[in-house]
Chain A
Amino acid sequence: MTHPILVTVNGITYKDDVESRLLLVHYLRDRLGLTGTHIGCETSICGACTILLDGAAVKSCTLLAVQADGSKITTIEGLAATSRNALHPVQEGFWECHGLQCGYCTPGMIMMGAQILDRDPHPSEEKIRHGLEGNLCRCTGYQHIVDAIQYASKKM
């Protein structure tokens, strides 16, 4: 059984029919070809699939595509479009501060970083670390990720 949905993803509006059980992350990756949103656990623990849904950072692996009906979604591919430069300041921070190694958790980390700064443009280090609670990274030890978000905080 399929349902019609209307979603705006990175500024483009899509009208689609989706199966009831189709996960939002699969909709984004397989139907829209936005493969920057990664799948790391399917249980909303790791945060690799973090996107912005109507401005709120959510885990797209445990949302159904039908639940996104009527919403505005930003994925890593569309994040920079909301700022003047080619890269969003958080993306720039990740590059400047070596905030990534294998890069798999990175899109989710960047989306979460953007959310942290959206809520508090000048967060303390502790607040950044707590804000990243729902995002796992196995490579960096987190310190350069914190640096990257602090870099963006200064930049924004």
Chain B
Amino acid sequence: MMGTHYVGSRVKRTEDPRLIQGIGHYVDDIKLADTLEAVFVRSIYSHARIKSIDTAAAKAFPGVVAVYTGADIQDRIGSVPCASSLEGLKVPFHPPLAIGTVRYVGEPVAVVVARDKYIAADAAALVNIDCDPLDAVVDPEKAAEPGAPLVHEEFGDNIAYRWKLAGGDMDKAFKDADRIIKTRIVHQRLIPAAMEPRGVQARWLPGEKELTLWSSTQIPHLLRTQLAIMLGLSENRLRIITPEVGGGFGSKLNVYGEEAVIGWISMQLSRPVKWMESRRENFQATIQGRAQTGEIEAAVKSDGTILGLHYRIVADLGAYHQLLTPAIPTLTGLMLGGAYRFKNCLMDVTAVFTNKVATDAYRGAGRPEATFTVERIVDIVAHELKMDPVELRRKNFPKPSEFPFVSATGLTYDSGNYEPALDRALEMVNYAGLREEQARRRKDPSAKLLGIGLSSYVEICAMGPSPAMPAGGWESATVRVEPTGKVTVLSGASPHGQGQETSFAQIAADELGVDLNDVLVVHGDTTIVQYGIGTFGSRATAVGGSAVYYAIQNLKAKAGKIAAHMMGIDPAQVRFERGTFANAGDSQKTLTIQQVAAESYNAKNIPADSEPGLAATYFFEPKNFTFPFGTHVCVVEIDRETGEYDVTKYVAVDDCGRVINPLLVDGQIHGGIVQGLGQAMLEEAIYDENGQLITGEFMDYAMPRAHNFPRFELDRTETPTDVNPLGVKGVGEAGTIGSTPALVNAVVDALAHFGVRHVDMPLRPEKIWKLIPRDQ
């Protein structure tokens, strides 16, 4: 068993000293001699036929080294890849630089390479793209209609795929229902907006025939494989390094055309080339999230029993598929069962092409959409049946004895006990007291309106078992004890802020009985680290940490054999505790792991059947996903005169299984909550009818700020899972998944006595003001 010295403690992060002193290295901080800088020329039209591209003036500009367009890379760089495979999925060719037609504002058309970025930007302005604008398809629901302008003419319509997921018998659920309650739900498009935009630096060494590509990505190994295919380069001559990555949130869980183009240019010019994305490009051309419009119908009994849910959506995929674009709405479908025991469901997806940048995985990736939809309709049902939303939820939760629980959509929820988290959250907010206060204020026209919103979520994490994933879903680790006794952990995960340099070191230090400072966790370099999958889907600790754990078990087994040999005893007699091997029959005989490591490399006195050295590699394949859950409660106060509101209290009780580092888990929950509340309150990627992005900068896209929120109050329950040896479930997305409905439910609850049953996000004060009767 594991010790408890570090695991479970609020250990300060080992990655922090370099970051708080500004001496870490993000892509843009890596300076190579003779580096050229690239600027992409992008489409200003959402849909247009390219008549000609004149690059002569740009090429002649002093300091410019090269200018490339789609014609230069056609047949030289392959399509930007899509890893999703769904029956009937239409997959358009996705050129890294547009060929013939542009299909969204911000689509790369040409690239200028120059001595520095100022010159490249000057010359980029001289590239003349002559276009015939075409009608744009912007509204996803209109895109599905016959006669809509076509994003890809060759397909004959804009429907990328239709997908259904049925569980139980939804027709019967509707027949048996006392009430059918429905509402329209819009999940607006969001911009991930990692604080560090994307960036790529490439260096081709013509002698060694090696391309090194530094990229701000969440998936270095998958990127290596895909870029090797795109560039026709032998994969073992391509090295991807992810230095510090300034946030991803799914937006860097991708393979982008720019990554291939910059690598290719370095190979053409045999010089290092760098491209740093500007914030405007980041808003226009990095994947976006959500963008689903739908109608949810609940079949319910008068006593509040939910019989089933039917959800129909139109998913706005954008113009081309990025890596996982088509898969995201299917994740929404899988989680339609929510935290409830009903057995009938039907999910109906129509996914359409539009003249906008692709949507793809954004923190939560399909699950926030499911949770928001389910938690909204549950509140609406409670309201219409005149039941307390708490009681409705409680009534429909599966009981602890029903776990592992098979959800309406056929997933097996590993473990769960939903009521204690709900009860604890209610206790923390003083739910009964708040309801009394709300009733009092409703009678007092001078008082601010009070609203209480709940969200009891369940999410699907620790992605995931390989058969259920587009690429493999396992994760890898190598653990080495070096000759001097220092421990090196090589992880195939690719943390970019989540703190696994610390949490994996905690696991290794406890398991090996060494000091935390003697452990170094290395990741994000495909030449140093064995193949891995990466960091996304709340998987790094649950899957990657488990790989570390098992690698250490194998390493300890080997070390135990060597120790036995060194002590001259039977291996069965060896005990390992707190870094020391001891003879069970003789407490005097001990060897430290460091001594055993030294001997394993010295190899003078090791068993004949032992390989020298002390290292082990493990590829961990999870047998199931995990299903963390919890209840969030949000309290809002609304000014009746202005519609402005404050979140006055926010309580989150989450169950993410065993906690390796409570400090880091709190940080993940806080950040997740703010990202979810950002969607609920502020954020919206707005395109006009021509497909121009109106919210193209931070000046127009409302990001959550420090003063938008109160202090969040957190607590946890801990329901064990046996999906992995650590008992951890993942926590990276919980806050984002749980928080959005809590806020909207709170605002709707505050306005319910005015007959309000739903408000579309983001909840701007203006929208709320319009819903408050002026004569009250």
Contacts and interface: CB of A to CB of B under 8 A. Distances in A.
B19 A106 contact: yes
Interface in B692-750: 697-699, 703, 705-707, 709, 711-712, 735
A52 interface: no
B25 A101 contact: no
B196 A102 contact: yes
Nearest to B13: A98
A66 interface: no
B710 to A, nearest CB: 9
Contacts of A106: 19-20, 22
Contacts, number: 175
A65 interface: no
B670 A144 contact: yes
Contact of B709 (A36, A91, A138, A142): A142
Given A101-B497, A103-B244, A137-B195, A143 B22 contact: no
Interface centre among B22, B247, B664, B674 (most CB of A within 10 A): B22
Contacts of A34: 22
Nearest to A92: B20
A69 interface: no
B664 A98 contact: yes
Closest 10 CB pairs of A and B: A36-B22, A104-B246, A102-B497, A141-B670, A103-B19, A76-B22, A101-B497, A141-B674, A45-B698, A35-B29
Given A39-B28, A41-B697, A141-B735, A102 B244 contact: yes
Interface in A92-147: 94-96, 98, 100-107, 110, 125-126, 128-130, 132-133, 135-146
Interface in B660-694: 663-664, 666-667, 669-675
Contact of B711 (A35, A48, A138, A143): A143
A85 interface: no
A54 interface: no
Contacts of A138: 193-195, 247, 249, 671, 675, 703
A9 interface: no
A141 B278 CA distance: 24
Contacts of B329: none
B641 interface: no
Given A87-B20, A103-B244, 15 more contacts: A37-B22, A48-B195, A95-B20, A101-B667, A104-B196, A125-B711, A133-B707, A136-B698, A138-B193, A138-B675, A139-B671, A140-B671, A142-B705, A142-B709, A144-B667
Given A100-B19, A102-B496, A141-B670, A43 B697 contact: yes
A66 to B, nearest CB: 15
A21 interface: yes
Interface centre among B244, B246, B712 (most CB of A within 10 A): B246
Given A42-B279, A98-B666, A133 B711 contact: no
B279 A40 contact: yes
The size bracket of the interface on A is 35 or more
Nearest to A103: B19
Contacts of A141: 667, 669-675, 709, 712, 735
Interface string B1-45: 000000000001101110111111110110100000000000000
A151 B688 CA distance: 46
B499 interface: yes
A45 B282 CA distance: 15
B245 interface: yes
A40 B196 contact: yes
B600 interface: no
B22 A102 contact: no
Contact of A100 (B20, B193, B709): B20
A145 B706 contact: yes
Nearest to B663: A98
Given A41-B279, A145-B706, A95 B667 contact: no
Contacts of A103: 15-16, 19-20, 24, 244, 246, 497
A17 interface: no
A48 B28 CA distance: 14
A96 B16 CA distance: 10
Contacts of A94: 16, 20
A98 B118 CA distance: 37
B218 to A, nearest CB: 11
Interface centre among B16, B118, B278, B699 (most CB of A within 10 A): B16
Contacts of A130: 706-707
Contacts of A57: none
A129 B20 contact: no
A46 interface: yes
Interface string B482-514: 000000000000001111000000000000000
Contacts of A39: 28, 276
B674 to A, nearest CB: 4
A110 B23 CA distance: 14
Interface string A43-76: 1011010000000000000000000000000011
A26 to B, nearest CB: 8
A22 B206 CA distance: 34
19 contacts: A33-B31, A35-B28, A37-B22, A38-B195, A40-B196, A41-B279, A43-B697, A46-B279, A103-B19, A105-B195, A106-B20, A110-B20, A132-B707, A136-B195, A138-B671, A141-B712, A141-B735, A142-B705, A146-B706
A125 B118 CA distance: 42
A29 to B, nearest CB: 8
Contacts of B28: 29, 35, 38-39
B246 A132 contact: no
A91 B703 contact: no
A102 B245 contact: yes
Given A143-B712, A144-B670, A41 B698 contact: yes
A80 interface: yes
B698 A128 contact: no
Contacts of A37: 22
Interface string B433-452: 00000000000000000000
A75 B23 CA distance: 11
A140 B673 CA distance: 9
A102 B194 contact: yes
